[in-house]
Amino acid sequence: MTKLFLALFSSSVLTLSAAKQPNVVILYSDDAGYADFGFQPNCVEEMKKLTPHIDSIASDGVRLSNAYMTGCVCSPSRAGLMTGKYQQRFGYDNNLPPGYKSGVDLNVTFGVKHLQSLGYKTGLIGKWHLGYPEAYHPNKRGYDWFYGLLQGSRGYFPYDKPSPNRVILENSKPTPESGYVTDRFGDAACRFIKENKDTPFYLFVSFTAPHSPNQPKPEDKKRIAHISPKGRQSYAGLIVSLDDNVGKILKCLKQQGLDENTLVIFTNDNGGQTATGANNSPLKGKKGTLWEGGVRVPWAMRWPKHIQKGSTIDDPIIAFDIFPTVVEASGNPIKAEWGIDGRSFLPLLTGKKNTLPTRALHWRQHGSRGSIAMREGDWKLIYNRAQAGSKPELYNLKNDIEESQNLADKHPDVANQLITKMQQWEAQMVEPLWGPGSPGKPAKTKKNSQTTK
């Protein structure tokens, strides 16, 4: 950002603490590819014009070029984002099994609980996937209104007899099966915005799109006819419906006179699922891996008069940073007793700082015998411990975003320093409470094979 912009910015923007608390809308897609949105530099040509509304968030605001989730699959990534903590601190390495009699530890406080105490009305629309029993329900964890499903996925068209965890609930009440699911979530978001326009609100719109099954609307097929193969085409159909509903929500904010004072965040829950059509170029790996293609995500934000249009943030940002950033944007302090791992990146958004101090970011799946990775500065260390014969691998992401040149032998001092920090971090974590790596269920050993992009 130029010195001229910083000067203009500091003279024209009110002090945040003196301004009205901003509304917050998080638009969260599911299993989307890194290169499948027009605002991404590596977006393939056939997809470039399919996401104009999502792209507008970046053009009207900022793109985050080094953005991450805390997990490489759906449920853990949500747990980290919503609590502001590494989910491995409370045994959440793995996806929550359907119908499992648990969820995020009841002793762990969700960020929205704190936002409620700061005067925010809170809403969750769409996918939950963080607990099925009543005590783990969204309404019990800090969301004033819930409109969505408890399980991790469902079909996009009405079921004849939906299961209890796949039916769309309004709070705890099942709703009739009608309409296309992505449209229903977009409509519900607009309803929440209209009903709460006179109070600060925090709305998390957790779309299931473009998670499988690939079931686009028939009327969208003409818009995606140029895409091949057919599997990729159907996936693209879910993307265009996602974009339509993002546009619907952005339009609703403007119609209600709320767009100027609403921080809008668009991102995705983990790396793209290439098996169902996602494209993660130029990244290696996909959903379920700790390569960049499993944890690095598209991310754009808009907040008029606070974020410079068309700007880029290159500092590594991770999902559990959202909660402290929202708190600071509301003019309130971040309390030490919350015990969060995230930090606010508000100074980067507002242009007050060009960079923040370097820190280590960590990932792990399947417990202490599963894959583990960390990033510090430009260096990425990854150790796929469940693969036979594997060793720690070192990459310089600034020069090698594709993770194609293992530098562990060339820079053993760097590798050893990161290994030590990785071990220190893991010593603070606990083993998974369910799934691979949990007591009695060791992580499965895999043959060492080349992971494709």
Say how far apart CA 251 and CA 189 lie, in whole Å.
11
CATH code of 358-453, in short, is 3.30.1120.10
Global pTM reads 0.93
Confidence at residue 395, expressed as pLDDT on a 0 to 100 scale: 98
Give the residue range(s) of CATH 3.30.1120.10 domains in the chain.
358-453
pLDDT per residue as tens digits for the range 315-369: 999 999 999 999 999 999 999 999 999 999 999 999 999 999 999 999 999 999 9
pLDDT band for position 13 (50/70/90)? very low
Q: CATH 3.40.720.10 residue ranges in the chain?
A: 3-350
C-alpha distances (whole Å) from 377 to each of 315, 362, 396 are 9, 12, 9
Residue 199's closest CA among 123, 148, 266?
123
pLDDT reading at 5 higher than 50 = no
* Residue-wise pLDDT tens digits, 361-418: 999 999 999 999 999 999 999 999 999 999 999 999 999 999 999 999 999 999 999 9
Specify the CATH architecture of the domain 3-350: 3-Layer(aba) Sandwich (3.40)
Amino acid at 302: R
Give the confidence band of 441 by pLDDT, cuts at 50, 70, 90. confident
Q: 103 exposed, middle or buried (CB, 10 Å; 0-12, 13-18, 19+)? A: buried
Q: How confident is residue 231, by pLDDT bands cut at 50, 70 and 90?
A: confident
* Mean pLDDT computed over 115-124: 98
DSSP character string of 129-198 = -SB-SGGGSHHHHT-SEEEEESSS---SS--SS--TTTSPEETTEE----S-HHHHHHHHHHHHHHHTTT
Give CA separation, 250 vs 53, 134, 305, in Å: 8, 33, 17
Positive or negative: CA dihedral 47, 49, 53, 55: positive
- What pLDDT is recorded for position 17? 41
Lowest pLDDT segment from 6-20, 84-98, 209-223: 6-20
